[in-house]
């Protein structure tokens, strides 16, 4: 029923946001595509020349790419698995009658608000240091040898830190979903003599399917480009053991100054993220109609 | 109707929940404790949990040696500035899409969301080169601009989901009474939108405060916010745990408080309304 005037107004109000986001999306992406077809090294100025798909060939056949792709997948997969496998029981626990629940909730959600550089450094030094870290002391108490985390299991150490940061996110979302679960449905099941386990499998778990999907998709978007945690703890090493795609592109661009190859890598990262985004946008879009 | 819960169950779940909560919170607690120790005690094995010589010396040293307030001020200006600008651009856009939706509104919203999916590392190279040629590297303006754009889709989305819940009948009633669009905005819409505006503001302050990709890559010293300042403690020669802990505690304290206030909105904001 909107009049022409309000329609015009609505469009005017929307324009700045749309225009800005459009420029933000198109300009850097177009430049990335353009740079990806050039031989372009900042250490060798003036030597820019068109090389076609050479950078993609170089980036994709570089052993570092395969290693970093593998690290990226292991990192994303492990953190997802850890946060969901621990997040579901944790959310179920917090959904029980707990005295002082609001304080427990605060403690559980806290890691999510800690900036990545802080959590990475606190874990690396105060907890995981092979000599003076708390974990080394605990191992000593049990008569176990201390683990030199970042040398013996570097990728696992990074995974541990990132899981700690994202467990609260998964838990909070699953808890919010649990709280919207119809209590009467569960009661009816209990009255019909359903055991706690079958109530969980047939009522709770199906109800959690959607929030779990949302957690997986959103975490994946963020985890694909984990950067700060690696930057301050391992610098991608030892060797390439903790280099993920984001860190590989960073090191090619800002350490080796190879603009062409880093741009090609950037496009590979965009394609990977888009595969995930495709599904996420679908799910959110379906919700928009409801 | 509450389920019957036996006292025993309640005791068990309470104990378990507190134990797990404590374990998850422990690294933060341990950091705060370390910030009040001397460097020697922070490093000591066996560690002392409470019975050490409490000192606030680290907090003083962090400011004296490394100009903590300079970086804190950068964080405030960058996070605050980028959030405010994003809000100014997003409010009209979200208002328009919530109250005068067209056939294409859904597509526009989903397209905006998809811009957030672009991994920042995919456009690191051109952004870095553009910033270098325009002298924007290591400037607050440069960081404000990029964080504002990065968060704009989330801000629009959050505002949209809140505005959408404001009943339209009220606006029509106001229109019948002859209210102009300006009056409608000020007297009818604003009071109803305040809670949504506040939680959007809060969540985006948190996200901008903790942003650690663009800040690490585009700033070094002058414009460096706390994320970058803390990262400077990662150098191997800088193993000052107590000072690292003091600086870290200061860096996360304000945002932890804000975060605790906004935890309910967090779910809604970060899932783009998919989980409420």
Q: Can you give the residue ranges of every domain in chain B?
A: 7-59, 66-270
pLDDT tens string B145-165: 999 998 898 889 888 888 888
Nearest to B199 by CA among B171, B157, B146: B157
Residues B189 and B91: their CA atoms lie apart, in Å, by 12
- Which chain A residues are within 8 Å of B216, Cβ to Cβ? 117, 227-228, 231
> Nearest-CA distance from A182 to chain B in Å?
11
Which two tokens mark A44?
């060798």
Residue A98 backbone zone (phi > 0: left; psi -120 to 50: alpha; other: beta): beta
Q: Decide if B209 contacts A118 (C-beta within 8 A).
A: no
Which two tokens mark A167?
């467990």
Note whether A96 contacts B99, CB cutoff 8 Å.
Answer: no
Q: For domain B66-270, which CATH number applies: 1.10.3720.10, 1.20.120.450, 3.40.640.10, 1.20.210.10?
A: 1.10.3720.10
Q: What separation in angstroms does the CA of B4 have from each of A96, A178, A186, B7, B8?
A: 11, 18, 12, 10, 12
- Which chain A residues are within 8 Å of B120, Cβ to Cβ? 225
Note whether A20 contacts B212, CB cutoff 8 Å.
Answer: no
Q: Decide if A174 contacts A87 (C-beta within 8 A).
A: yes
Residues A31 and A35: their CA atoms lie apart, in Å, by 6
CB-side exposure of B234: number of CA atoms within 13 Å? 23
Helices (H) and strands (E) in chain B, counts: 14, 0
CA torsion sign, B257 to A174 to B160 to B192?
Answer: negative
Residues A135 and A130: their CA atoms lie apart, in Å, by 8
Which two tokens mark B241?
């745990």
- Which chain A residues are within 8 Å of B25, Cβ to Cβ? 107-108, 110-111
Give pLDDT, residue A126: 85
Between B30 and B53, the higher pLDDT residue = B30
pLDDT tens string B215-262: 998 888 888 898 898 888 877 655 688 888 888 999 898 888 888 777
Give pLDDT, residue B5: 58
Q: Decide if B174 contacts B191 (C-beta within 8 A).
A: no
H or E stretch including B84?
Answer: helix B68-99
The model carries a pTM of: 0.86
Q: Decide if B156 contacts B94 (C-beta within 8 A).
A: yes
Local confidence band at B1 (pLDDT 50, 70, 90 cut-offs): very low
Residue A49 phi/psi, 5° resolution? -150, 155
Contact A65/B at CB under 8 A: no
Note whether A24 contacts B115, CB cutoff 8 Å.
Answer: yes
> CB burial class (10 A; 0-12, 13-18, 19+) of residue B237?
exposed
Note whether A284 contacts B272, CB cutoff 8 Å.
Answer: yes
Q: Decide if A134 contacts B30 (C-beta within 8 A).
A: yes
Place of tokens 């040398």: A151
How many residues would you count in chain B? 276
- Which chain B residues are within 8 Å of A68, Cβ to Cβ? none
Nearest to B67 by CA among B228, B211, B217, B205: B228
> Nearest-CA distance from B81 to chain A in Å?
17
Give pLDDT, residue A289: 56
- Collapsing DSSP to helix, strand or coil, A48 comes out as coil
Note whether B13 contacts A96, CB cutoff 8 Å.
Answer: yes
> Nearest-CA distance from B156 to chain A in Å?
9
Give pLDDT, residue B29: 93
Restricting to A residues 18-57, those with a Cβ less than 8 Å away from any Cβ of B are 18, 20-21, 24-25, 27-29, 31-32, 35
Mean pLDDT of chain B: 83
Give pLDDT, residue A288: 62
Contacts of A49 (CB under 8 A, 6+ apart): A38, A39
What DSSP assignment string belongs to B47-64?
Answer: PPSS-S----HHHHHHHH
Q: Which residues pair with A38 in a beta bridge?
A: A50
Between B119 and A105, the higher pLDDT residue = A105
pLDDT tens string A68-121: 889 999 999 999 999 999 999 999 999 888 888 888 988 999 999 999 999 998
Of A167, A214, A245, the CB nearest to B24: A167
Residue A117 phi/psi, 5° resolution? -65, -35
Contacts of A104 (CB under 8 A, 6+ apart): A94, A98, B17, B18, B20, B21
Local confidence band at B168 (pLDDT 50, 70, 90 cut-offs): confident
pLDDT, mean of residues B37-52: 78
Of B14, B118, B119, the CB nearest to A98: B14
Q: Decide if B131 contacts B143 (C-beta within 8 A).
A: no
How many residues would you count in chain A? 290
Give pLDDT, residue B173: 78
Per-residue pLDDT of chain A in tens (290 residues, 90 and over written 9): 456 777 788 788 888 888 888 888 888 888 888 888 887 887 777 777 788 787 888 888 888 888 988 999 999 999 999 999 999 999 999 988 888 888 898 899 999 999 999 999 899 888 888 888 888 888 888 888 888 888 888 999 999 999 999 999 999 889 988 888 777 777 787 788 778 888 888 888 888 888 888 888 788 888 888 888 999 888 887 888 888 888 988 888 888 788 888 888 888 888 888 887 787 777 767 766 54
Q: Which residues pair with A39 in a beta bridge?
A: A49
Q: What separation in angstroms does the CA of A94 have from each of A105, A108, A195, A207?
A: 8, 10, 20, 17
Q: Decide if A116 contacts A228 (C-beta within 8 A).
A: yes
Q: Decide if B115 contacts A25 (C-beta within 8 A).
A: yes
Between B121 and B208, the higher pLDDT residue = B208
Q: How many CB atoms lie within 10 A of CB B156?
A: 29
**How many percent of chain B have pLDDT more than 90?**
18
Residues A251 and A264: their CA atoms lie apart, in Å, by 13
Q: Decide if B275 contacts A180 (C-beta within 8 A).
A: no
Dihedral angle at the C-alpha atoms of A232, A236, A239, A240, nearest 10 degrees?
A: 160
Which two tokens mark A123?
């874990």
Q: Is the pLDDT of residue B77 over 90?
A: yes
Q: Decide if B258 contacts B206 (C-beta within 8 A).
A: yes
Q: Which domains does chain A possess?
A: 37-285 (1.10.3720.10)
Q: Decide if B171 contacts B180 (C-beta within 8 A).
A: no
pLDDT, mean of residues B31-48: 82
């Amino acid at each position: 029923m909107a009049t022409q005037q309000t329609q015009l107004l609505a469009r005017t109000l929307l324009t700045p946001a749309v225009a800005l986001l459009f420029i933000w999306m198109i300009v850097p992406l177009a430049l990335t595509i353009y740079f990806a077809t050039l031989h372009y090294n900042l250490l060798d100025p003036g030597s820019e020349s068109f090389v076609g798909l050479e950078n993609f060939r170089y980036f994709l056949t570089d052993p570092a790419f395969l290693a970093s792709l593998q690290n990226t997948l292991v990192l994303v997969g492990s953190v997802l698995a850890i946060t969901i496998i621990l997040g579901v029981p944790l959310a179920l626990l917090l959904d029980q009658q707990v005295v002082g629940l609001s304080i427990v909730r605060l403690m559980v959600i806290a890691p999510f608000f800690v900036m990545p550089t802080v959590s990475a450094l606190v874990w690396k030094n105060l907890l995981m240091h092979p000599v003076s870290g708390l974990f080394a002391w605990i191992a000593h108490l049990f008569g176990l040898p201390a683990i030199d985390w970042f040398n013996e299991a570097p990728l696992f150490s990074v995974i541990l830190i990132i899981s700690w940061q994202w467990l609260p996110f998964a838990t909070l979302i699953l808890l919010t979903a649990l709280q919207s679960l119809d209590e009467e449905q569960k009661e009816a099941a209990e009255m019909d003599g359903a055991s706690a386990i079958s109530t969980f499998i047939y009522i709770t778990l199906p109800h959690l399917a959607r929030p779990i999907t949302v957690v997986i998709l959103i975490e994946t978007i963020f985890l694909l480009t984990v950067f700060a945690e690696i930057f301050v703890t391992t610098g991608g090493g030892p060797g390439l053991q903790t280099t993920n795609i984001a860190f590989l592109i960073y090191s090619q661009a800002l350490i080796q100054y190879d603009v062409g190859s880093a741009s090609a890598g950037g496009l590979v990262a965009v394609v990977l993220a888009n595969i995930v985004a495709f599904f996420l946008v679908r799910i959110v879009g379906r919700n928009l109609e409801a | 109707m509450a389920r019957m819960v036996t006292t025993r169950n309640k005791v068990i779940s309470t104990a378990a929940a507190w134990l797990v909560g404590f374990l998850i919170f422990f690294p933060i607690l341990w950091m705060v404790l370390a910030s009040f120790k001397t460097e020697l005690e922070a490093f000591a094995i066996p560690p002392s949990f409470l019975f050490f010589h409490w000192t606030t010396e680290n907090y003083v040293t962090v400011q004296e040696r490394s100009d903590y307030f300079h970086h804190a001020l950068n964080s405030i200006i960058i996070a605050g500035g980028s959030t405010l600008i994003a809000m100014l651009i997003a409010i009209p856009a979200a208002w328009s899409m919530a109250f005068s939706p067209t056939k294409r509104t859904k597509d526009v919203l989903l397209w905006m969301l998809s811009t957030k999916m672009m991994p920042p590392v995919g456009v690191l190279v051109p952004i870095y080169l553009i910033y270098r040629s325009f002298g924007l590297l290591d400037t607050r303006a440069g960081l404000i601009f990029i964080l504002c754009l990065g968060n704009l889709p989330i801000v629009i989305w959050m505002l949209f989901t809140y505005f959408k819940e404001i009943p339209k009948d009220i606006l029509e009633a106001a229109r019948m009474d002859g209210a102009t669009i300006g009056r409608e905005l000020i007297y009818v819409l604003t009071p109803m939108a305040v809670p949504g505006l506040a939680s959007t503001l809060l969540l985006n302050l948190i996200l901008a405060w903790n942003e650690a990709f663009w800040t690490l890559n585009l700033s070094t010293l002058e414009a460096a916010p706390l994320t970058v300042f803390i990262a400077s403690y990662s150098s191997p020669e800088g193993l000052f745990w107590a000072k690292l802990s003091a600086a870290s505690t200061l860096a996360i304290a304000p945002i932890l408080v804000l975060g605790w206030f906004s935890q309910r909105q967090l779910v809604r904001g970060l899932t783009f309304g998919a989980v409420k």
